Amino acid sequence: MKNSIVVSAPGKLMLFGEHSVVYRKPCIVTAVEQRMRVRVIRTVGSEIELIAPEVGLKNFKTKITTPIKKLPKSAKFVFAAIQNFYKKYKISSGLKIETHSDFSSKFGFGSSSAVTVCVVKALGEIFDVQVTNKELFDIAYKAVLAVQGVGSGFDIASAIWGGTLYFVGGGKVIRPINTKGLSLVIGYTGIKADTATLVRNVAELYKTERAQIGNIFSSITGIVEDAKKALLKSDFQKLGTLANINQGFLDALGVNTRELSNLIFVARKAGAYGAKLSGAGGGDCMIAFAPVNERNKIRTAIQKNGGKDLPVKTGAEGVRIEK
Ligand code: PMV
């Protein structure tokens, strides 16, 4: 048993298949080299102390048994992860947890899922429990569902396995895709979106327009399958075209915004192969598949049009122990 450990996990970017993945369809996600780092220290007693300066928790301390709904938003994922782990492995102990992120929780890079994965991984090491990646996925996914109520688990898988993944909603299939030379430009709209609300809005629309929305999910599934093949062949022109088509369907689902559209159009005009929103929509980020020699032009266009260009390295390593 160890007394202290540091674990890190990557952030993520959805490439294709958001929203339909919630309905057990496939998506493609890539891990980004902006990482979440979590230090876990075993302490005596039964209290959990949480220090998460980036989300405004300076010195939060409470009993592990505190119900999730009574906790501040930024503590919920950490506590749900610990509660699930303790329940599964019949453990009880005090902990001190510190989190540090290379990226803002506003960007939609998946800070909640990355922190959940880091905590579960760290607890396995601290309490000498062999936790396979699949078990780690199940515990962390359950924790996210306990907090958020909805979600496909794609962000959890990305934080665990890293790289670029073909993922089927709920974790039915999790398969790495070998990508080479993927060149993306990311534009942040400056607007924080709430994933759970957007997922619920799509669910409402699916209820009233079953056939039409069902057709859209099937079309997005076709795009994901084609995008997987195009990624394997490094056919970025094709990926751009598929991104544009996927964007049209996301607009039809009602998750696009004027600000996202604006950045998507300027990126296309500045030379991108294609562009789309990434993640739940409603704000957050757009991605452009960019020819390497046009990257700077696309970045400038995004900045000039009210976006923030976020440099990312894709296909990052999954969860790992730092020391
Ligand atoms: O908002 P993000 O970047 O975490 O992406 C959400 C993607 C959805 O498909 C809308 C939801 C999900 O859990 O798959």
Query: Is the pLDDT confidence value at 144 over 90?
Result: yes
Q: Ligand 1 mean position to 41 CA, how many Å? A: 31
Atom of ligand 1 nearest to the CA of 155: 4
**Would you call 128 a catalytic residue per the annotation?**
no
For residue 17, give the ligand 1 atom closest to its CA.
Answer: 9
* 25 in Cβ contact with 17 (< 8 Å): yes
The pLDDT assigned to 28 comes to 98
pLDDT of residue 245: 98
Residues within 6 Å of ligand 1 by CB: 14, 18-19, 21-22, 108, 110, 151-152, 154-155, 195, 199, 279-280
Q: Report pLDDT for 102.
A: 86
Ligand 1 mean position, distance from CA 194 (Å): 10
Which alpha helices (H) appear in the chain, and where do they start and end? Answer: 73-89, 111-126, 133-148, 154-161, 195-208, 210-232, 236-252, 258-269, 295-304
Mean pLDDT calculated for residue range 214-227: 98
Residue identifier of the C-alpha nearest atom 14 of ligand 1 = 152
The pLDDT of residue 105: 77
Residue 110 has pLDDT above 90, yes or no: no
pLDDT band at 225 (very low <50, low <70, confident <90, very high): very high
Please tell me the predicted confidence (pLDDT) of residue 107: 75
Q: What would you report as the CA-atom Rg of the chain, rounded to the nearest whole angstrom? A: 19
Q: Provide the CB-side half-sphere exposure for 71 (13 A, CA).
A: 24
Between helix 133-148 and helix 73-89 the angle, nearest 10°, is 130
pLDDT of residue 53: 87
Residue 292 pLDDT class (50, 70, 90 cuts): very high
Provide the pLDDT for residue 59.
85
Q: What is the DSSP letter of 101?
A: E
Percent of the chain with pLDDT over 70: 100
Do the beta carbons of residue 127 and residue 4 sit within 8 Å? no
> What's the pLDDT tens digit per position in 176-200?
999 989 999 999 999 988 999 999 9
Q: Which residue, judged by its Cα, is nearest atom 11 of ligand 1?
A: 151
Q: Ligand 1 pocket: which of 13, 15, 16, 18 to mutate (most atoms <8 Å of CB)?
A: 18
239-282 tens-digit pLDDT: 999 999 999 999 999 999 999 999 999 999 999 999 999 999 99
pLDDT above 90 covers a percentage of the chain that reads 92
- Answer yes or no: are the C-beta atoms of 263 and 302 closer than 8 Å: yes
Please say if the pLDDT value at position 289 is more than 80.
yes
Give the least confident one: 52-56, 97-101, 203-207.
52-56
Select which of 138, 155, 284, 309 is catalytic.
155
